[in-house]
């Protein structure tokens, strides 16, 4: 028979950091203390608020409208419109690649507790947020009823 590692009053500590302590039995934040089994954890919130893609799309559309107007006014060949479309496509693709490689600016972990939505943790640091998220998942899994 093995010894029970959860002999302390609050249970095993999965994460202890500024703003949150995740234990097997409860999660303690600045706003309060919540029993893990009473929490319904929502999906994490990731805020990808980088403007490169939107700026590229907006600038590209403005450029296409300008070229279309110049073609109509000066009677240029439609070849110029095709070149402008290609330049816009390359710019939007490059901006999408750049935006896709960045981690989110803000991340949040929310849950439902006693019919109200509570924010368990927010961060701008990807590594810290993922540590807290994994700790909460481990605490929820440790509190489950065993399968028959």
Residue ranges covered by each domain of the chain? 13-47+104-142, 58-101
Q: What is the pLDDT of residue 61?
A: 81
Q: What pLDDT does 116 receive?
A: 92
20-23 β-sheet, strand order: 13-17, 20-23, 26-29, 33-35
Q: What is the dihedral of CA 29, 31, 35, 37, to 10 degrees?
A: -90
Structure tokens at 18: 């500024």
Give per-10-residue mean pLDDT for the chain (148 aa). Answer: 50 89 91 91 79 76 81 77 80 78 82 91 91 92 72
pLDDT at 59: 79
Q: What pLDDT, on the 0 to 100 scale, is given for residue 146?
A: 61
How far apart are alpha carbons 109 and 122 in whole angstroms? 6
């Amino acid at each position: 028979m093995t010894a029970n590692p959860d002999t302390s009053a609050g249970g095993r500590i999965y994460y202890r950091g500024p703003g949150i302590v995740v234990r097997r039995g409860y999660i303690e934040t600045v706003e309060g203390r919540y029993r893990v089994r009473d929490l319904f954890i929502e999906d994490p919130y990731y805020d990808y608020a980088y403007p490169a893609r939107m700026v590229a799309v907006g600038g590209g559309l403005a450029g296409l409208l300008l070229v279309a107007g110049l073609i109509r006014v000066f009677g240029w060949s439609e070849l110029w419109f095709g070149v402008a479309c290609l330049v816009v496509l390359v710019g939007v693709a490059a901006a999408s690649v750049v935006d896709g490689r960045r981690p989110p600016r803000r991340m949040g972990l929310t849950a439902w507790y006693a019919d109200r939505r509570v924010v368990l943790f927010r961060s701008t640091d990807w590594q810290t947020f993922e540590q807290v998220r994994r700790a909460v998942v481990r605490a929820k899994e440790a509190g489950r009823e065993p399968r028959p």
